[in-house]
A and B are shown apart, each in its own frame.
Chain A
Amino acid sequence: MTRFAGRPLLNWAALAAAVAALIAVPEFVEIFTLMQFTLFAAMGVLALSLGFIWGYGGILSFGQTAFFGLGGYAYAVSVINLGDSTGAIGIAIALPAVFAAILGYFVFYGRISDVYLGVITLTVTLILFNVVNATAGDEYRIGAAALGGFNGMPSVPTFNMPGNPSMVLDPTQGWYATGGALIFVYVALRLLLRSPFGRIAVAVRENEVRASLLGYDPRLIKLGVFVVGGAVAGLGGALYVNWGAFVSPTIFALSLSAEIIIWVTVGGLGTLIGPVVGCFMIQYLDSQIGTQQTFNSNLALGAILIVFVLLLPQGLIPTLRTLAGRAIAAPSRTAAKTTVAERPAEARQ
């Protein structure tokens, strides 16, 4: 916190640069590339959700796609029923948040240990996958929306101008909405981390016993972090479905859950920018591998994850920061001021 509170100018500059990039990108790239960037940005929101709960809450969820998928389906079902994407996006955020609250209550208040948390989130994701997969057939509809089972739901209406269903966003506007959402979520999480809640959450991650001896309820704090993560992932799901105008049960796939974890590990646990950078890099790599047939992308992803865990466990961004810190030979005071952000090892214990 101190790290960023002390450098507001740099933060504003970075934010301005991000917004400028958001606005400028459509001028420079083809529509195909723009669509690809839109997908990256939607996934970036998903990356932020895990980066937040794992890096700052110490909660390693193996099923962040559960909330992502729920958000996607909630968006699809509500937009078909409501005819307007404005409320549908709200539902896509609220429903996963509620689901996260229920699941989180069960897990954190049940004093289920961290290891089992991974197993349970994984299992819940599988349950959702199985259930949604089995909803083929016309009897499975919610209002006007047929769930479609393993076939998924085609032709989901995409975003429209808030409150005006007749004005559907074109791909460039879709990019603004998605990229804008990514920047918004990033800034919102940054601010949340500087709020008392965020600072207490980090304290709970650092030392749960001490936090409770100071009068904070770790269960409640973790639940809060988990719910925020669920809401953010849900928003990511809505953005993703908007991008493809399509949703199918593969949105709950374990392979995607694994990929999010790879994004965060590669980019750097305990930072917010790291997961986004990791997400962009891995997705770019993934799309490049997809264009050739010699080897499978799982092979590359698996190898990358193993290499990072063994050789660069801190991830790219923290490592770069350390290197940059050494290179400019900052006074030792600054080096000592590094915050929790540079201490991913603790979060993993």
Chain B
Amino acid sequence: MTPPVPLLEARNLTMRFGGVVAVNNIDFTLREVELRCLIGPNGAGKSTFFKMLTGQLTPSAGTIAFRGTPIAGAASHEIARLGIGIKTQVPNVFNGLPVRENVWLAARRRNTPVQAKRLVDEILEKIALTPRADDLVGQLSHGQRQWVEIGTVLAGEPDLILLDEPAAGMTDEETVRTAEIIREINQTRALIVVEHDMQFIKMIAKTVTVFHQGQILMEDKIDAVMHDERVRDVYLGKKVAA
């Protein structure tokens, strides 16, 4: 029996900006319906990695395959159509459009008008923004815009969801709710979550990949990572000291 094709597989992935190597020759594999957390200090290459996965950057070297299809250097919309959705670090939404329209735009692409409408209503409930469905997103709070973006990503029904700091700027209550939603999504879909908040990671994570200076420092179960000396040095240690 041949081993199953992984959902996502990156090989020798490298991104250079001029003389700076932001991502340096990393290998990364994700199974179907896996939940992975990425941690690492600022500048470790996590966001660059996400940008390569979504076609916003073309890797300097290396390959990325999504279910066996090569996607390195493909256009963002082509990758999105294959089934990768992203919530970026700074809310990247249609500020000038109503909440409902934001979610609809994502829902409409794969659905009939009737299905799309139903999906939008469902998601508005899930992100608790039904009462503000007709307000412009630009008028919402930062936290609410994060929710709009999460809702938008969900409405696109991707098989792999990338979340860049989903809990940033959220209240404790919202953070717990975000973790719940992530676990729920993970019933059927794979996720990669970048997060700094270790409390949050503990709520959701099984396996954690640690980025450091553009390379993968280690990849292991959450408990092993949290007790690892090297990780403490480069990341947690720093954070405690700070």
Which A residues have a C-beta under 8 Å from some C-beta of B?
1-2, 196, 199-200, 202-203, 206-207, 209-218, 333, 336-340, 343, 346
> Is A212 a contact partner of B101 (Cβ separation < 8 A)?
no
* Partner pick for B105 among A2, A199, A333, CB 8 A cutoff: A199
Q: State A210–B109 Cα separation when bound (angstroms).
A: 14
Residue B54, interface by CB 8 Å? yes
> Is A207 a contact partner of B101 (Cβ separation < 8 A)?
no
Task: Give the secondary structure class of B's interface.
Answer: mixed
Query: Interface size (B, Cβ < 8 Å)?
Result: 31
> Is B94 a contact partner of A210 (Cβ separation < 8 A)?
yes
> Is B81 a contact partner of A213 (Cβ separation < 8 A)?
no
CB-CB < 8 A to A338: which residues of B? 136
- Listed residue (A1, A203, A215) with the most chain B CB atoms within 10 angstroms of its CB: A215
CB-CB < 8 A to A336: which residues of B? 134-136, 139
The 5 sampled A-B contact pairs (Cβ below 8 Å) are A2-B98, A2-B134, A212-B76, A214-B85, A215-B109
Residue B160, interface by CB 8 Å? no
Residue B96, interface by CB 8 Å? yes
Q: State A91–B60 Cα separation when bound (angstroms).
A: 48
**With contacts A196-B108, A203-B97 known, is A217 near B139, CB below 8 A?**
no
Q: State A337–B99 Cα separation when bound (angstroms).
A: 11
Task: Give the secondary structure class of A's interface.
Answer: helix
* Partner pick for B97 among A196, A216, A340, CB 8 A cutoff: A340
> Is B75 a contact partner of A217 (Cβ separation < 8 A)?
yes
Nearest-CB distance from B87 to chain A (Å)? 9
> Is A212 a contact partner of B77 (Cβ separation < 8 A)?
yes
> Is A213 a contact partner of B96 (Cβ separation < 8 A)?
no
> Is B106 a contact partner of A207 (Cβ separation < 8 A)?
no
**With contacts A207-B93, A209-B92, A215-B80 known, is A200 near B54, CB below 8 A?**
no
Using CB atoms, name the residue of chain A closest to B137. A206
- Listed residue (A1, A2, A214, A346) with the most chain B CB atoms within 10 angstroms of its CB: A214
Q: State A185–B92 Cα separation when bound (angstroms).
A: 34
Residue B95, interface by CB 8 Å? yes
Q: State A203–B156 Cα separation when bound (angstroms).
A: 15
Which residues in window 134-151 of B have CB below 8 A to A?
Answer: 134-136, 139
Using CB atoms, name the residue of chain A closest to B106. A214
> Is B108 a contact partner of A210 (Cβ separation < 8 A)?
no
Excluding A212-B80, A346-B96, 19 further A-B contacts by CB distance (< 8 Å) are: A196-B108, A199-B105, A200-B108, A202-B97, A203-B94, A203-B101, A203-B105, A206-B94, A210-B94, A210-B152, A211-B77, A213-B77, A214-B80, A214-B156, A215-B77, A215-B156, A336-B135, A339-B97, A340-B97
Residue B48, interface by CB 8 Å? no
Residue B89, interface by CB 8 Å? no
